[in-house]
Chain A
Amino acid sequence: MPGSDTAGKDGMVPGALPVPEDSSGTHERGLLNLLEDMREKSVQLERQRIATFNILDDVTEAQGQLKQKYVELEALKDLTQSLGRSLEPKNIMRGIAEALEKTLPEMTIAYAAVPAGSKIPPEVVYIHAREAVGKKYLAAVKESILAGLAAVPDLSAAPVRAPADRAEPGFEFVEGSEDAGSQSVPRSVISAPVVVPGAMAGMITLSSAKPGAFSKNTAASISSVIDSALQTIGLLKTLIASEHSRLQDLLESMSDAVVMFDADRQILIANQSMRQLLAGGAAVGSLDAVLDFFKRKSLPEETGKKAADVSEAVEKALASAKTMHIEELSIERRSFEAFITPIRDWEKNASGGAIILHDITHLTEIDRMKTEFVSVASHQLRTPLTPLRLFSEMLLNGEVGELNPKQREYVDSIQKSSIRMISLVNDLLNVSRLETGRLMIEPVPTDLAEFIRDIVQEVVPTAAAKGYEILFNPPKEKLPAINLDQTLMRQVIHNLLTNAIRYSEGKGSKITVEAGATPDSYLVSVHDEGIGIPKEAQPRIFEKFFRADNARKAEAEGSGLGMYVAKMVLEASGGKIWFESPPKGAARGTVFYVSVPREGMLGRKGEKGIAA
């Protein structure tokens, strides 16, 4: 530095500038300027330093605000979800309180709500305590809440204090608990109203025993959360109303009767068709009233049907979360098909269900008309057939004189035709019963071997007359008694035997009948060596009135319903009928198999089957 003390013997400092002898004044001015520069630079640096720190402060504050906003948003998201679950006042307040907790974690939060227009003070004040709160604290909080509620326009008519006969609101601690020893009182308090017009009015109080616990941002946060909540509530309500309205429109347009109920078994919606159905009875209030109505109106004594127990189906549907189906239930002489379906909310919890009734009265009416028609027709047809049969038989048996061969021939033909017609009428009746599910199946324990042998015996003469042989191979071991409806099974086996005889060809042709057991069934087979069933005809053998082409010669016999009835009867009782033509390993012929399950034929209530 100039002016340094390390000048040498000759007055010169090493490395220093040569100093003219008479420039000491200029030298001083140079030094002063330099100092000035340095001082200025230093001040500038200092300013820059301060400015940088200010920027850092701002950034830090902004960051703090962002964090705060983020927390708020998270809280609002949770709040929205919570509101979506339920718009009950209690839930709304709680949701807001929890959102505020996240944004203002040190505050003690208390709240209470009453339904809109209510003049009654709240029953409970909920409190999330974040510090020790004693009786004094609680009393102060309660005051603040009640005072706040009294100030809400909706409730301005409400008393601030509870009337003498009503209990003061009690406290429920959602968090924390009462600390009996604490003498603290709230020193920082903010209260905010939460009003949903037409729905509820609530008051929320944030407090702390520490004074000055609120910053200028606190009030803003609180407002922000409450405003968002109210906005969300408004939107949700609009959405719900619009969905409800769409649903209502949809349901009203349905001809099916629909009733929807909630998890508390209260009716949510009953569409017009359902209201009409219920018009006779239940006020559409509770599910149980509706179920009771169905039960009473099902008129079991009149219709002969079991009393409609929709209740059972409802319980099953709710318990198993599956749709239940009732094929037919009657309500006041109309018939319905019923579907009961559970409804689940967005969290997959059962939140009620719906009952849908589909009117099938016209279908059951058609069935009834069909039954009646067949019944009347069969009676009318049988009436002239009876004397026709009786007289021709009496002519044939010679009790009014002998017939000459030609006469015998003709009368025989008349008699056979009348028998055939009678069979046809009987078969039509059975077909009608089968098709409307009214055929009764009455299995009784039967000795299969003996049963089959009897039927075979009946047709032996017919076979012998044509020169055919019938063989019966009984089961190898003695079988236990099997449940068979003898009338129906006799008809089936008899039918198979007559067919075997009808379609056999050539003298000495053998018809073999077998009966036995397989691991899971009992089996009867009828085997013939006759003309067989052509391949094209095979898929259609069990159709009504179907005749294979090669069976033309047998056209005049049988009703054409035998195979159809056999198949229907066996299938209705749990059995099977099938055939092979030609049988495996043979060149010609046919074998028919009839099987019933080990448990025997399944019984069914109904009208007695094929007339004897």
Chain B
Amino acid sequence: MTAEKKKILIVDDEKEIVKALSEHLVRSGFLVAAAYDGEEGLEKTQTFKPDLVLLDVVMPKMDGVAVLKRLKEDAATKHIPVLLLTNLDSLERVADTLEAGGTQYLIKSNYSAEELEKKIREALR
């Protein structure tokens, strides 16, 4: 009996990142969907119903922090674990509130694909 594949939604406007992450995650046995801006991210959360969201911060139309806020406000989505992936050096004032709310924020460039996968698996447990 194969375990059901976990669904990951990647929200990031950088196509290269999305490609690298999604291809790796697919090879590792996940189902992956992608959104390229905040609004699309929210839509796809509703339709794709992911088990975890990888969320970039700097995006057009709506940034990751705003998306996160909406996700946490919505009863239907607030239980979904979110990993904020960003290349901003720090979100000083925001970081503490984020981490207090149980959302990790990771600096993308500091992790290898395998390390990111490890973080994802930890968040899914």
Contact = CB atoms under 8 A, between A and B. Distances in A.
Contacts of A601: none
Contacts of B75: none
Interface string A357-380: 000000000000000001100110
B89 A399 contact: no
A551 interface: no
B17 interface: yes
A234 interface: no
B113 A394 contact: yes
Residue of B21, B23, B95, B107 most packed against chain A (CB within 10 A): B107
B2 interface: no
A382 B113 contact: no
A192 to B, nearest CB: 76
B20 A378 contact: no
B19 interface: yes
Interface residues of B, number: 23
Contact of B107 (A382, A391, A397, A399): A382
Contact of A393 (B87, B95, B113): B113
Given A375-B89, A379-B89, A391-B20, A422 B110 contact: yes
Contacts of B114: 393, 397
B20 A390 contact: yes
Given A387-B17, A390-B20, A608-B95, A379 B108 contact: no
A394 B24 contact: yes
Contact of B92 (A385, A607, A611): A607
Contacts of B20: 386-387, 390-391, 394
Nearest to A426: B110
Interface of A: 374-375, 378-379, 382-387, 389-391, 393-394, 397, 399, 422, 425-426, 429, 607-608, 611-612
Contacts of A387: 14, 16-17, 19-20
Contacts of A422: 109-110
Interface in B93-113: 95, 107-110, 112-113
Contacts of A425: 109
A458 to B, nearest CB: 14
B58 to A, nearest CB: 7
Top-7 shortest CB links A-B: A387-B16, A382-B87, A390-B20, A382-B109, A386-B109, A386-B108, A422-B109
A402 to B, nearest CB: 15
Interface in B1-43: 14, 16-17, 19-21, 23-24, 27
Given A386-B108, A387-B17, A379 B58 contact: yes
A431 to B, nearest CB: 12
Contacts of A389: 109, 112
Nearest to A422: B109
Contacts of B17: 386-387, 390
Contacts of A379: 58, 87-89
17 contacts: A374-B89, A379-B58, A384-B16, A385-B109, A386-B16, A387-B16, A387-B19, A390-B20, A390-B24, A390-B113, A393-B114, A394-B24, A394-B113, A397-B114, A422-B110, A607-B89, A607-B92
Interface of B: 14, 16-17, 19-21, 23-24, 27, 58, 87-90, 92, 95, 107-110, 112-114
Nearest to A304: B93
Contact of A382 (B16, B92, B108): B108
A487 to B, nearest CB: 12
Residue of B88, B89, B95 most packed against chain A (CB within 10 A): B89
B116 to A, nearest CB: 8
Contacts of B14: 383, 386-387
A390 to B, nearest CB: 4
A419 B18 CA distance: 20
Nearest to A371: B89
A399 B16 contact: no
Given A422-B109, A422-B110, A611-B110, A429 B89 contact: yes
A378 B109 CA distance: 11
Contacts of B113: 390, 393-394
A4 B31 CA distance: 174
Contacts of A384: 16
A611 B21 CA distance: 21
Nearest to B92: A607
Contact of A611 (B24, B27, B107): B107
A612 to B, nearest CB: 6
A403 B56 CA distance: 32
Contacts of A390: 17, 20-21, 24, 112-113
Contacts of A399: 24, 27
Given A378-B89, A379-B88, A612 B110 contact: yes
Contact of A386 (B23, B87, B88, B95): B87
A386 B87 CA distance: 9
Nearest to A397: B114
Given A386-B17, A390-B21, 10 more contacts: A374-B89, A375-B88, A379-B87, A379-B88, A386-B16, A386-B109, A387-B16, A393-B114, A397-B114, A429-B89
B107 A612 contact: yes
Contacts of B58: 379
Contacts of B89: 374-375, 378-379, 429, 607, 611
B49 to A, nearest CB: 26
A377 to B, nearest CB: 10
Contacts of B110: 422, 426, 611-612
Residue of B21, B58, B87, B95 most packed against chain A (CB within 10 A): B87
Contacts of B90: 607-608
Contacts of B108: 382, 386
A411 to B, nearest CB: 14
A536 B107 CA distance: 39
A553 to B, nearest CB: 27
A388 to B, nearest CB: 9
Residue of B88, B95, B109 most packed against chain A (CB within 10 A): B109
Contacts of A607: 89-90, 92
Nearest to A387: B16
B108 to A, nearest CB: 5
A425 B108 CA distance: 13
B22 to A, nearest CB: 11
A374 B90 CA distance: 12
B110 to A, nearest CB: 5
Contacts of A386: 14, 16-17, 20, 87, 108-109
